[in-house]
Amino acid sequence: MLYLLGVVVIALGILISVSLHEAGHMLTAKAFGMKVTRYFIGFGPTLWSFRRGETEYGVKGIPLGGFCKIVGMTPQDDDVDPADEPRAMWRFPVWKRTIVMASGSVTHFMLAIVGAWFAAVFVGLPNPAYPSTDAEFRQEPAVIALAPCVVPENADRACSTADPASPAAKGQLHDGDRITSFAGRPINDYGQLLVALRAAKPGNSVPVGYVRDGQPGTANVTLAETQRPPLDDPKGKVGSVAALGVGLRVSTPGTITYGPVDAFGATARFTGDMTVATGQALQRIPEKVPALFSAISGEKRDANTPISVVGASRLGGEALQNGVWQMLVFLFISLNFFVGVFNLLPLLPVDGGHIAIAWFERVRSWIYARLNRPDPGRVDYLKLMPLTYAVILIGGAFTLLTITADIVNPITLFSR
């Protein structure tokens, strides 16, 4: 039941976001005097509608988005009533058209920023001091968190009866102990502990020095045998190594909550980090396509591959089912921010394509005026239709690919 509720919450959040996106277009267009004839939530057959003034509002049967109809978005629109020609969108100054077309993305950004502020106050935002790379983790003090067992190859699953119990736990080490030596070798950080373990032999009993509550001690631990890739090549060939059955307990908290005022600065920093991460994610999309095909064919799903609305909804259901409702907030934030950025890409049919064309026309007219040449006029959208169809085809194929991967081999954040 909780899983289904989480799925519904994320799906409903996405639908509301898209509806507000279209409302942003509508409200700014009306404010500038453009004519908006329709605003609908969903697609397909109309379930319910009403007319107020010159605009029809309603709900359609397929809840996969929404739309608003602004008269004369392009000079090639052939459904403009002659009486509405002065209010056709393409006749308005470029700055007004830019605001109208960008208002959808601005709405997504506002939702993401408000969500981030809410998270900063009530949930906690990622701690900037928390290690973010493998090298930073290895530089942390070797403060251990006991694992219940040793799972081969770091498999993402719970312990089974076939897995050896944690040698550290059997040797009476405790959560929070800081390892100071291993087999007589000084240990200053977690990276040195990993290197020392790789140099040890499975089955040997070794002395492990530690500090607990400020008091030093020594435990004799019989090392287990497990399978791991090389430390310097996580994707390399797996081999037999010694295991202590511990993880790293990071000394800094992973998240920090803020007061209502301090949350504004934290939200700004978080938004900046999210901007960089979103740009990097967009750049990596082409290289992730083969991984999606591999996931569909049965290989382990890469957690960094793109997800669809289906995948995001499933993650929401999984989070709520496991009591991590905070994840729903961050899913809502990241999805809104990503959609806002993606929608500004200078490609038709997304809003960024219309903005790019509007400014191309403006710059081209300025250059022609300086050259004392006649204004070339407006861009013919009909000539751009092949490129538009190509973008739609590629985008549709990619969406279908991600949906298929999310159904056949979904990303899961919790062990099963």
Q: Residue 145 sits in which domain range?
A: 134-248
For residue 155, tell me if it sits in a domain: yes
pLDDT greater at residue 28 or residue 160: 28
100 and 146 share one domain = no
> Rounded mean pLDDT of the chain?
89
Any residues with CB less than 8 A from the CB of 82 and at least 6 apart, and which?
Answer: none
237 and 270 share one domain = no
351 and 220 share one domain = no
pLDDT digit string, tens, across residues 254-298: 889 999 999 999 999 999 999 998 888 888 888 888 888 888 988
Dihedrals phi, psi of 75, to nearest 5 degrees: -65, -20
100 and 143 share one domain = no
Adjacency order of strands within the sheet including 205-212:
185-186, 178-182, 205-212, 215-222
117 and 237 share one domain = no
In this structure, how many other beta carbons lie within 10 angstroms of the beta carbon of residue 48?
A: 9
pLDDT digit string, tens, across residues 182-211: 999 999 999 999 999 988 998 899 999 999
**How many independent structural domains does the chain possess?**
2
Predicted TM-score (pTM) above 0.75? yes
User: What's the pLDDT band for 101 if we cut at 50, 70, 90?
Assistant: very high
Among candidate residues 248, 283, 316, the one where a domain is terminated:
248
233 and 296 share one domain = no
190 and 230 share one domain = yes
389 and 269 share one domain = yes
For residue 33, tell me if it sits in a domain: no
pLDDT at 24: 96
pLDDT digit string, tens, across residues 120-153: 999 999 888 888 777 888 888 989 988 888 887 6
Closest CA to 228 of 219, 237, 220: 237
pLDDT digit string, tens, across residues 27-74: 999 999 999 999 999 888 999 999 999 999 999 988 878 899 999 988
Among candidate residues 217, 248, 279, the one where a domain is terminated:
248
Among candidate residues 194, 219, 248, the one where a domain is terminated:
248
155 and 197 share one domain = yes
Q: What is the percent of the chain where pLDDT is above 90?
A: 53
CATH number of the domain bearing residue 191: 2.30.42.10
Task: Catalogue the E-assigned strands of 200-290.
Answer: 205-212, 215-222, 224-228, 239-243, 246-248, 255-256
337 and 228 share one domain = no
User: Could you confirm whether 153 is annotated as catalytic?
Assistant: no
237 and 269 share one domain = no
114 and 144 share one domain = no
For residue 414, tell me if it sits in a domain: yes
Report residue 21 as tokens: 């996106």
For residue 341, tell me if it sits in a domain: yes
